[in-house]
Structures are given as C-alpha cells and as structure tokens.
Amino acid sequence: MLLSLRAGESAAFDLLVRRYKDRIYNVLYRFLGNHEDALDIAQEAFLRAHAGLRDFDGRSSVYTWLYRIAANLAKNRIRDQGRKGRDRGTSLEALLDAAPGPAQQALASVDTPHRRALREEVNGALEECLALLPAPCRLAFTLRVLDGLAYAEIAEVEACPEGTVKSRLSQARRLLRACLEKHGILQDHV
C-alpha cells in the first residue's frame, strides 16, 4: 500500500481515507470536543497527507504518520483557540471544587423513561471531564483508551518518549477519576 501511495495512486489514497477517516474523526472529536473542528482538522490532515505522500519516508507506519499530522493540527487549533480566548472556561480544579452535579442526583433514581436522558448526561459529564484535561494528557488518553494505540505508537504520534506517554496516561486517569467521582458517576453500579 505504501508503494502505491507514494506512487500517487489515487485508489490507494482512497483506501487510506476509507480505512482511517472514522478513527481519525472519532479521536479528533473526543480531543477537540466538537464536530466542526473535528471535521475541519480531519479533512486538513488527509489533505496534507495527500500532498506529502511522496515525501513520506516510510520510517513510521502510514497511520501513525497520519495520526501525527492530525494531532499536530489539532494541538495547533487548541493553541489558537486559547489565544483567541475560546478555550474552555472552566479549569479542572474549579470543577472539582464545584457542588456535585445533576448526574449524581439523577443516578439515585434511575428509571426507564429517563434512561436516555441520563445516559446523555453521563456522556456529557465524561466529555466535560475529558475536555478539562491538559491537552497532552487528553491526546494520550484518547489515543490509548478510545483508539487502542500502543504506547510506542502514541510516542510516535506525539513525538515524545514512551516514558512521557506513560506519565501522561497516569496523570490523565488520576484526574479523570477525580472528576468523574465529583460528578458521581464512578460508582460500582454505573
């Protein structure tokens, strides 16, 4: 496939897109927190991949190379949004200091008619906690837990040592645990 890609065969590129677009999109959506940015960055990542295929040296696998392009674009997007004051307005610490959220109250009375709304609320809390993680931790956690990449692959995507990936994941899980407990959605019965 790599040879076909580097030879500029459009069918090979189409295959690459079909194979990875949903995975890339899902990771970007969870990392960036909205569809608009996820779509924009995913498209741009594939565009850049298409333009740079001939220069791809093949030292990494195609998909980690693709993930790396997408991850860099996504990190730039977050950085730019932070400069424009569009970053998320609540810190993790502020959230942890806040009163228990509605999910905690709702969990006490789970019933069928409200199950869907409850699930949405829990998902919302999960997204909220994820969004409050520092970007490097969020990216590592998303790639590991939501996309199943190995430590070595994440290190390749993030261009950092495996030890850094390990510590980022540890920090991410610790912070997420605290955040979810604050929302009351980490009980055994959930």
Return residues touching other proteins (CB under 8 A). 14, 17-18, 21-22, 24-26, 29-30, 34-36, 38-39, 42-44, 46-48, 50-52, 69, 72, 89-90, 95, 98-99, 101-102, 114, 116-118, 120-124, 126-128, 130, 141, 144-146, 151, 166-167, 169-170, 172-174, 176-177, 180-181, 185-186, 188, 190
CB of 161 to other proteins, least distance (A): 13
Euclidean distance between CA atoms 151 and 168, whole angstroms: 11
CB of 8 to other proteins, least distance (A): 12
Question: Is residue 47 left, alpha or beta, with left meaning phi > 0 and alpha meaning psi from -120 to 50?
Answer: alpha
Which of 22, 23, 26 lies closest to 127, judged by CA? 26
CB of 59 to other proteins, least distance (A): 15
Nearest-5° Cα angle at 18, 16 to 20: 65
CB of 3 to other proteins, least distance (A): 20
- DSSP category for residue 85: T
